[in-house]
Amino acid sequence: MATERSLSPEARSILGAGISRRSVLAGAGGLGAASLLAACGGSGGDAASSENTVRWGNWPLYLDFDADTKKYPTLDKFTTQTGIDAAYFEDYNDNDEFFGKVQAQLKLGEDIGYDVVTPTDWMAARWIRLGYSQKFDLANIPNAGNILDSLASPSYDPNRESTLTWQGIMSGFGWNTEKNPKGIHTLDELFAPQNKGKIVVLTEMRDTIGVILLAQGVDITKVTEDQFMNAVDFMAAKISDGWIRGVKGNEYAEDLTSGDATAVIGWSGDMFILSSENEGKFDFAIPDSGGTISGDNLMIPSTASASGKANGEKLINYYYDPAVAAEVAAYVNYVCPVKGAQAEMEKIAPELATSEYIFPSDKTASRLHVFRSLTPDEETKWAEAFQKAQGN
């Protein structure tokens, strides 16, 4: 049916309104705070597992949301179509922190409160290595074949048996267009005098250090420890010299809107949402020297029950339907991993169908690089250096 294929009225109203989620984003600072609170012990997925539910832990602002009705249009449609209740938790704030929160339960095989989680590539690799994930029953996910060829065989899950990409994330430079009218395309432009003390970089080590390494001419698919430590030292010096004011997760968006930050190493989707909410006051670009790309992955934890797993697979299958994927991408503005979604986007938001940031062309894709996977030893040692540079 034609009406079913087009955008749901709720989603349309959001798009029509120029994505008015100010209230949601204004609370972005609260995300970090909520994560602090979570770190104090509270776990998000409180709903009990039952036959007819699926519990999904995802990153904040990562699913189409209608601020007026406080609902997730595509998720509601999923429930209508399948009769499965979806409990959605926006409490995956940080890979390390989420891992820290649930690891003990995973080890003991106790329910962690989620049937679907959304870790970033390297963290998904860790879960798989440790046996904390379950292999999909691909019969339940016929749409799995819709994944983009470029994403179909990552090193940690070559046949996509346990993970499917949720969204792809580009990192690069974001800036306040009033303070940086010419934009920021190189590291030198980032560290320009007008941004002194007002630069925020990401807590995600592979993105921040990745962008710095690329600017230093290093191939991040083969980065050595010396090169990495060198880039960390560069960041540490910029922090102690007062150039970088903070190393943050999603909260950098709030610093940009409050004026406390004028330039960031940030994520593409966040920057586009910020820009559309602030009449083009912000912009994003992949650095001339290249940006990083990574993926967040839908994954079923080892502790999910049989029914939770089956429902989770149905949920994943649903979001791999090109029409649904397009609807989500129209809202989150991240790289859409689903084949055919671009054609669907033509129907609902033609101006987004040509966006290089949602559907990157080969030329754009060639400027994006994936940080190489690290051994457990490197993971600990490099994370330690990165944390120390932040004063921890």
Verify binding: residue 155, other proteins, rule CB under 8 A.
Answer: no
State which of residues 16, 18, 142, 197 lies at the interface with other proteins (CB under 8 A): 197
Between CA 265 and CA 332 the distance in angstroms is 18
Q: Which of residues 369-388 bind other proteins (CB under 8 A)?
A: 376, 379-380, 383-384, 387
SS3 338: strand
Q: Contact region for other proteins (CB under 8 A) — 44-52, 89-97, 292-300, 325-333?
A: 89-97
Q: Contact region for other proteins (CB under 8 A) — 31-39, 48-56, 279-287, 323-331?
A: 31-39
Q: What is the DSSP letter of 195?
A: G
Largest CA distance in the chain: 60
SS3 145: helix
User: Shortest distance, CB of residue 64 to other proteins, whole angstroms?
Assistant: 26
Between CA 382 and CA 392 the distance in angstroms is 13
Verify binding: residue 36, other proteins, rule CB under 8 A.
Answer: yes
CA dihedral sign, ordered 259, 261, 262, 264: negative
- Judge whether 321 and 296 are in contact, CB under 8 Å: no
CB nearer to other proteins: pick between 298 and 374:
374
User: Shortest distance, CB of residue 384 to other proteins, whole angstroms?
Assistant: 5
State which of residues 55, 198, 206, 367 lies at the interface with other proteins (CB under 8 A): 198
Verify binding: residue 41, other proteins, rule CB under 8 A.
Answer: no
User: Shortest distance, CB of residue 97 to other proteins, whole angstroms?
Assistant: 5
Between CA 296 and CA 303 the distance in angstroms is 20
Query: How many Cβ atoms are within 10 Å of 54's Cβ, its own excluded?
Result: 31
Between CA 59 and CA 103 the distance in angstroms is 18
Return residues touching other proteins (CB under 8 A).
29-30, 32-34, 36-37, 39, 94, 96-97, 99-100, 103, 126, 129-130, 196-198, 203, 239-240, 244-247, 258-260, 376, 379-380, 383-384, 387, 389-392
